[in-house]
Amino acid sequence: MTTHLPPAAYPATRMRRNRLTDWRRRLTRQTEVSVNDLILAMVVHDGTQSRIPVASMPGTYRYSRTEAVAVAQEAESLGVPMIAVFPFIDPALKNGEGSEAFNPDGLVPDVVSAMKKAAPNVGLMTDVALDPFTDHGHDGLIDDAGTMLNDPTIAALVRQAVLEAQAGADVVAPSDMTDGRIGAIRAGLDAAGFQDVAIMSYAAKYASAFYGPYRDAIGSKGALKGDKKTYQMDPGNSDEAIREVGLDIAEGADMVMVKPGMPYLDIVRRVKDAFGVPTYAFQVSGEYAMMEAAIANGWLDGSRVRMEALACFKRAGADGIITYWALEAAKKLGERP
């Protein structure tokens, strides 16, 4: 005998109704990643080999000048708005002052100029920090004890930012975390006639263990003397991030960034809620490497997990994501209904 429960015993609301079919899920989805959210992170080198694999970042390469131009054209064709360029500098050109960062004929100015000419509709963002150029691996100038010097470093970063703007950078991104560098760089760019070059500040950059593979990619890992805890933020701090972001906005930052990304989604949310400014997250090398290793072992579904990870940033409040997956994600998004 079938017993029917009275209507009052049934759920008043059935949340599953909106999940039953693909079209319902798409219609009710609150967070959606689009190609407009993607910034491609890429590493360039000045050798003849077109692509040099980065062992700790499967599927990622150091690109030659010619290959970087081809990547920029592909990004443009896919609608990716911006590329973040990072250099692998010949160790023979490195020294304690990072003087190759100020070479107008150096790798970064050369590659940026070529990419801009080949793909004028893609924004180019350059890193402002000395760690790829120094033989000690720090982001700025250091004293005999290995501690980074704040004010002398700022003067060097202003020179670097202006040089990168002259080469065609649309956005400069100070990643060093020295105090006061945003205001100094803004003043330096304006004085040199680059009022329209924007600044994306690494405003809340943590002294994280998730950067290791990137240091392999740019060749600074073995060179690093000591650590960066005297200038990058303590991973245990949250309120400090709000202070840092507020200072950078007051000094003229057009956009702000939280780095690393996924382990710091709470910071992304706090920053966006507190300031409402264009806020970005960097899906750093360690995040990429962990997921790619699991994908390679068959432990994760790569097609799904890459897109899910990117959606997490959007859900947390990020306006965009700097990621090594930008091209793959743009292609995947092009396949969606």
Instruction: Note the pLDDT of residue 257.
Output: 98
pLDDT by residue, tens only, the chain of 337 residues:
566 656 666 788 899 999 999 999 999 999 999 999 999 999 999 999 999 999 999 999 999 999 999 999 999 999 999 999 999 999 999 999 999 999 999 999 999 999 999 999 999 999 999 999 999 999 999 999 889 999 999 999 999 999 999 999 999 999 999 999 999 999 999 999 999 999 999 999 999 999 999 988 888 777 787 889 999 999 999 999 999 999 999 999 999 999 999 999 999 999 999 999 999 999 999 999 999 999 999 999 999 999 999 999 999 999 999 999 999 999 999 886 5
Which of 94, 116, 228, 259 is catalytic? The answer is: 259
Distance in angstroms (rounded) separating the CA atoms of residues 279 and 293: 28
* Residue for token pair 């709470």: 266
Kindly list the distances between the CA atom of residue 30 and the CA atoms of 279, 320, 330, 333, 334, in Å, as whole numbers in the listed order.
Answer: 19, 16, 20, 17, 19
CATH code assigned to 31-335: 3.20.20.70
For residue 257 the two structure tokens come to: 């960034």
Pick out the residues of the known binding site for Mg(2+).
244
Q: Closest Cα partner for 65 from 41, 83, 47?
A: 47
Which of 94, 205, 228, 272 is catalytic? The answer is: 205
Q: List, in order, residues 6 or more apart from 7 with CB less than 8 Å away.
A: none
Kindly list the distances between the CA atom of residue 208 and the CA atoms of 204, 234, 301, in Å, as whole numbers in the listed order.
Answer: 11, 8, 27
Are 136 and 96 in contact, with CB atoms under 8 Å apart? yes
- The domain segmentation of the chain, as residue ranges, is 31-335
For residue 286 the two structure tokens come to: 């360690």
Distance in angstroms (rounded) separating the CA atoms of residues 156 and 96: 12
Q: pTM for this structure?
A: 0.94
For residue 172 the two structure tokens come to: 């400069």
Q: Say whether 229 is catalytic.
A: no
Distance in angstroms (rounded) separating the CA atoms of residues 283 and 210: 10
Distance in angstroms (rounded) separating the CA atoms of residues 53 and 58: 7
Q: Say whether 205 is catalytic.
A: yes
Instruction: Note the pLDDT of residue 336.
Output: 64
Distance in angstroms (rounded) separating the CA atoms of residues 6 and 312: 41
For residue 31 the two structure tokens come to: 């967070």
Pick out the residues of the known binding site.
244
Instruction: Note the pLDDT of residue 225.
Output: 78
Distance in angstroms (rounded) separating the CA atoms of residues 196 and 71: 25
